[in-house]
Amino acid sequence: MSLDESEFIKLAAQTLEKYLTAIEAVEPDDADADLQDGVLTIEFDDGRIFIVNRHVPLRQIWLSSPVSGAGHFDYQAGKWIAARDGRDLAVTLSAELSDLLNADVRLG
């Protein structure tokens, strides 16, 4: 699915808001999540940081993870799928955050 810029910005904003809401719902004691200007930052007390941001020119969401590294995700069939290895952003991030927070984080 080819998205125009305004569609992408809207879809990316909805995705990041959904992720923030899901993270806040588990009320993590050892991490803070913040969303500003299309960048979701999840910072753990031990210094680990996840960054999930929109990349408008390529119509991708980018992930920087202390667990799995970097990934670039394209919107395909209602999901954000990694360009390199086909992993699903929501599934990947849910698993990594659930493990680190000892909570059931469901982003998908």
Out of 3.60.110.10, 3.40.50.2000, 3.90.170.10, 3.30.920.10, select the CATH number for domain 5-101.
3.30.920.10
3-state secondary structure of 105: coil
Over the chain (108 residues), the average pLDDT of each successive run of 10 is 89 98 91 96 96 98 98 96 96 96 90
Quote the pLDDT of residue 28: 84
Q: Is 108 exposed, middle or buried (0-12, 13-18, 19+ CB in 10 A)?
A: middle
Q: What separation, in Å, do the N-terminal and C-terminal C-alpha atoms of the chain show? A: 19
Domain borders along the chain are 5-101
Q: What is the rounded CA–CA span in Å between residue 4 and residue 77?
A: 16
Q: How far apart are CA 72 and CA 58, in angstroms?
A: 9
Rounded CA-CA distance 12/28 in Å is: 24
pLDDT tens per residue, range 42-59: 999 999 999 999 999 999
Q: What pTM did the predictor assign?
A: 0.93
Residue 65, helix vs strand vs coil: strand
